Amino acid sequence: MVPFVSRLLREELGGAALARAHSPRDVALLVASRFVRMVGFGAVAPLLVLHLDALGFSHRDAGLFLTLTLLGDVGLSLCISWVADSAGRRRVLALGSLLMACSGFAFYLSRTYLVLLLAATFGVISPSGNEVGPFSSVEVGILSQLVQPEDRVFVLMHYQVLGFVGLALGSVASGSLVTALERGNSTLESYRFVFGCYGAIALVKVVLSLAMSPFAELDHPSFPDRRDAVLEDDSDDETLVGTTPTEQSPLLAVPDRPLAGRTASTTPHVVDPSTKIDVPSPTASSLPLVRLLIVVALFSVDSFASSLTPASYVSLYFKSIYHASISLISTVLAGSALGAVFTSLLAGALSKRVGLVLTMVTTHIPAQVLTAAMAYAPTLPSVVGLYIARTCISSMDSSIRGALLSAMVNKSSRTRLLGGAFPFPPNFIDVELTLLPPRSQVVDVCRTLAAAPGPFVTGRLISIGKFKWVFVISGAIKVVCASLLLSHVCAADGGER
């Protein structure tokens, strides 16, 4: 039993991947840095709009604040990521962390709208709890360099999962902290203290970034050979005979085993082709520009709809309409984020059975119906239930989008056009984290720019007393986008046949 558990942790869950890394210490520092960062993002996301509201700023000003924050994130990420390799990756990560600290301390010390706006626009603040700033693209580039090609999937898995754990932990911690501080302080002072903690967390990130070795840089010293650092007993393991994985080898190699030797659990159910909608396969020539533009436009409009309801505004909705406590709000946000991680893992199995398009549409449309239903929920328990269900279901849709785009674009054009459009499970509401740098490609830029006006529109609707309409509009736009995407792909598929 003990050898089995040891082998499970070492091989199946990637424990040996860290030991085989060129620099295990740097890998651990990067994963710890992401965990600490996401704790900070998770802590401030539920409080940002509530903090602006407590300071007396209008809902229109709050919406403009979040819009400019998103635009500032795009500019900061592009500028810093562009010079990361030449200026030094460790310096860039430390600079981003320092800007993050400045934002947190500015929110702690100042109550002036202009000062806070400058701190959020030129610093690092996450309105939704998602990854912002230049960190992810630089860190993933370093991780891919530090680990063996066949181990990257395991290291990136731990990198992302621990990030979600940090996100949930930060959300719960901030809610509990505010609740405790409100007993002897004002609500505003409690919020400001959390932002001070956010600044302190960022300073920890500065130390972690500077503690990395020169192996993290593009022009790094020669790596030591660590392939023999781990002594493995493979006598009881089923091994692959033949080649050694290389840079060109698939991350998830499949053994060449006869079909008769597989069990029912290892052989996916094959769908009748007549009931499955396939994604048209790209030909050797370039993907028709019009078809790509239509898909990108639909995803961009969908991104705008998502930006109408970020976590900060969901918190305000729960508090102002249903009088929920900040402790409950933060717990709901954290629970829904973790739930989304688990349900998104089911998307791959579902897509094998019904196809990418049907998987996305059949999960996307019900989730957005639940989004619209949040506007009419009569009680706090009902709106919380709708929100959690909506977040968990929509995560299955989000994890399919990258695969859908990849299937519609030629291999030679994927990096240029898609870049980091391959999401991991989202956090809070329709937020996607990128696994592949850089973030400056067509899809990422279009989606981020399309999302920027969303918070301002939400702020305007709240200012005229139409807060509930935000969820109806968001859900309706997303349903229309999903329907148009389905009809577009079906038409293209029929045309090719």
What pLDDT digit, counting tens, does each position of 299-332 carry? Answer: 889 889 989 998 899 999 999 999 999 999 999 9
**What average pLDDT does this structure show over 435-447?**
51
| Residues 404 and 306 grouped into a single domain | yes
Last residue of a domain, one of 182, 215, 248: 215
> For the chain, what is the mean pLDDT?
75
Cis peptide leading into 438, omega within 30 of 0? Answer: yes
* Residue type at 400 in one-letter notation: I
Rounded to whole angstroms, the Cα distance separating 62 from 184 reads: 27
* Residue 259 within a domain: no
| Residues 206 and 279 grouped into a single domain | no
Last residue of a domain, one of 166, 196, 215: 215
Q: What angle do CA 395, 458, 331 make, to 5 degrees?
A: 45
Domain that holds residue 41: 17-215
Residues 32/45, Cβ–Cβ less than 8 Å: no
Total domains in the chain come to 2
3-state DSSP assignment of residue 227: coil
Q: What is the pLDDT of residue 220?
A: 64
Q: What is the pLDDT of residue 246?
A: 43
Q: Using alpha carbons, select from 436, 371, 372 the residue that is nearest to residue 405.
A: 436
pLDDT, one tens digit per residue, over 410-424 is 544 544 454 444 434
* Residue 426 within a domain: yes
Rounded to whole angstroms, the Cα distance separating 451 from 122 reads: 18
pLDDT, one tens digit per residue, over 201-236 is 999 999 999 998 888 887 666 656 555 444 444 444
* Residue 254 within a domain: no
Residue with tokens 């395991």: 154
**What average pLDDT does this structure show over 351-356?**
71
Q: Which of 148-157, 230-239, 291-300 has the highest mean pLDDT?
A: 291-300
In angstroms, how far apart are the furthest CA atoms of the chain? 70
* Residue 233 within a domain: no
Confidence at 353, pLDDT banded by 50, 70, 90:
confident
Q: Which of 288-292, 370-374, 432-436 has the highest mean pLDDT?
A: 370-374
- Within 8 A by CB and 6+ apart from 17, the residues are 147, 148, 151, 154, 155
| Residues 356 and 440 grouped into a single domain | yes
| Residues 140 and 288 grouped into a single domain | no
Residues 137/78, Cβ–Cβ less than 8 Å: no
Q: What is the pLDDT of residue 106?
A: 95
Last residue of a domain, one of 175, 192, 215: 215
Confidence at 19, pLDDT banded by 50, 70, 90:
low
Residue 269 scores a pLDDT above 60: no
- Within 8 A by CB and 6+ apart from 488, the residues are 291, 294, 295, 298
Confidence at 399, pLDDT banded by 50, 70, 90:
low
- Within 8 A by CB and 6+ apart from 16, the residues are 10, 151, 230, 232
Q: What is the pLDDT of residue 448?
A: 75
Q: What angle do CA 263, 267, 268 make, to 5 degrees?
A: 145
- Within 8 A by CB and 6+ apart from 256, the residues are 242
Residue 282 scores a pLDDT above 60: no
**What average pLDDT does this structure show over 259-273?**
40
Q: What is the pLDDT of residue 484?
A: 85
Rounded to whole angstroms, the Cα distance separating 436 from 152 reads: 12
Q: Residue 165: give its domain's CATH number.
A: 1.20.1250.20
pTM: 0.74
**pLDDT > 90: percent of the chain:** 34
| Residues 211 and 280 grouped into a single domain | no
* Residue 349 within a domain: yes
Confidence at 391, pLDDT banded by 50, 70, 90:
confident
* Residue 265 within a domain: no
